[in-house]
């Protein structure tokens, strides 16, 4: 059993901890918190060993009666790998600590690609990241784009990718971000940074992918409108390939899954913890091919699509399973994904 330390127990961190706990070949060594809040209390109630991420704050947990084992420095040497789930920008500062303690670490999509050895998506770069020490699991949007491009690339050659990202304004627990009454071009410059982020995983797309993004007043999911020029394919080929690609499902507007709200209701009806949908949902009706150009729309559950990727990234970096599809299957089965 490999020992995984989760540094930063927020939206991504708590999901990574639960996903690690579900696997047969890894265990949660501990989780860290900066504040003695309800998440810290619940982490302990769930049975996770809690450590103060900032040593001076350890007494604050004790004052609140939250059981704390020590500080991150009491546990870091025992870890086989740290999954850093701190807010964007903090992970790169933490890299110094991971290197000093000679522990492997995974950073998240809020960090820049330049600080790590490579960038992870299970379908595209599992083999490249095998045995590496410092890797970034790319963002929720980049993960969604990489998955669908894998499905398309499996049946044809990609000439050019255009994608419009309609991004959620904030996560559901966030009262500080917006907008609440407008549509914000973000970034206002074109193309957006999302294309280069995809290239960090798929270098073959350099100069071939152009993205733009707006932020809208919703918290549930992102949506992507995607146009991919290919050397030739058919709608049936694309549908068949999507069906074969793990972690992408098709949904039917006609059947009532006609909005991100309905898709989240679907996840709730599936009984998913925190209504997570780790799979990307592609609208069946949207899939079209005109003059060799593929068109489709997909929904991305921002808080959860990267979670199974973190699990596969652990297996790749620690050389636990040498076949990406085997790791994907193990993760999916343990987490109860649809495919």
Q: What is the binding site for ligand NAD (CB under 6 A)?
A: 7-13, 32, 34-35, 53, 85-88, 90, 108-111, 139-140, 171, 302-303, 306
Tokens representing residue 243 in the block: 């069906």
Q: How far apart are the first and last CA of the chain?
A: 25
User: Is 140 flagged in the annotation as binding?
Assistant: yes
User: Is 302 flagged in the annotation as binding?
Assistant: yes
User: Is 193 flagged in the annotation as binding?
Assistant: no
User: Is 85 flagged in the annotation as binding?
Assistant: no
15 vs 315, beta carbon nearer ligand NAD: 15
144 vs 246, beta carbon nearer ligand NAD: 144
108 vs 153, beta carbon nearer ligand NAD: 108
Report strand pairing: 118-120 vs 134-137: parallel
| Buried-exposed string 210-221: b where 16+ CB fall within 10 A, e elsewhere | ebbbbbeebbbb
Tokens representing residue 223 in the block: 């949506």
Q: Which residues are catalytic?
A: 140
Q: Whose CA is closest to 83, among 1, 18, 24?
A: 18
User: Is 110 flagged in the annotation as binding?
Assistant: yes
Q: How far is the CB of 218 from ligand NAD (least distance, A)?
A: 13
Q: How far is the CB of 8 from ligand NAD (least distance, A)?
A: 3
143 vs 245, beta carbon nearer ligand NAD: 143
DSSP strand E in the chain: where? 2-7, 26-33, 50-52, 70-71, 81-84, 104-107, 118-120, 134-137, 158-168, 184-185, 209-216, 222-230, 248-251, 280-283, 288-290, 293-300
Instruction: Please name the residue that has the structure tokens 């809020």.
Output: 110
* Residues annotated in a binding site for NAD(+): 11-12, 110, 168, 302
Binding-site residues from annotation for D-glyceraldehyde 3-phosphate: 139-141, 194-195
Binding site, residues?
Answer: 11-12, 110, 139-141, 168, 194-195, 302
């Amino acid at each position: 059993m490999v020992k995984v330390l989760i540094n930063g127990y927020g939206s991504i961190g708590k999901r990574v901890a639960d996903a690690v706990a579900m696997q047969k070949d890894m265990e949660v060594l501990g989780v860290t918190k900066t504040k003695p809040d309800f998440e810290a209390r619940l982490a302990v109630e769930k049975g996770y060993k809690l450590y103060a991420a900032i040593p001076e704050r350890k007494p604050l947990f004790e004052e609140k009666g939250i059981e704390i084992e020590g500080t991150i420095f009491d546990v870091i040497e025992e870890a086989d790998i740290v999954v850093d789930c701190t807010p964007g920008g903090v992970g790169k500062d933490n890299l110094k600590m991971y290197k000093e303690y000679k522990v492997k670490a995974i950073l998240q999509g809020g960090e820049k690609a330049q600080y790590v050895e490579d960038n992870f998506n299970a379908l595209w770069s599992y083999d490249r990241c095998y045995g590496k020490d410092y890797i970034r699991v790319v963002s929720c949007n980049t993960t969604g784009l990489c998955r669908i491009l894998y499905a398309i690339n499996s049946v044809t050659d990609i000439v050019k990718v255009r994608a419009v990202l309609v991004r959620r304004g904030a996560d559901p627990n966030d009262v500080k971000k917006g907008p609440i009454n407008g549509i914000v071009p973000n970034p206002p410059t074109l193309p957006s940074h999302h294309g280069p982020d995809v290239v960090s995983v798929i270098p073959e797309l350099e100069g071939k992918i152009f993205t733009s993004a707006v932020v809208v007043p919703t918290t549930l999911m992102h949506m992507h409108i995607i146009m991919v020029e290919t050397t030739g394919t058919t709608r049936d080929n694309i549908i068949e390939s999507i069906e074969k690609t793990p972690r992408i499902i098709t949904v039917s507007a006609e059947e009532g899954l006609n909005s991100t709200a309905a898709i989240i209701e679907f996840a709730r009806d599936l009984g998913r913890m925190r209504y997570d949908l780790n799979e990307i949902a592609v609208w069946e009706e949207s899939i079209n091919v005109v003059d060799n150009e593929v068109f489709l729309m997909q929904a991305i559950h921002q808080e959860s699509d990267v979670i199974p990727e973190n699990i596969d990234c652990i297996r790749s970096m620690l050389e636990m399973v040498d076949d990406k599809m085997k790791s994907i299957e193990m993760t999916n089965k343990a987490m109860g994904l649809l495919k």
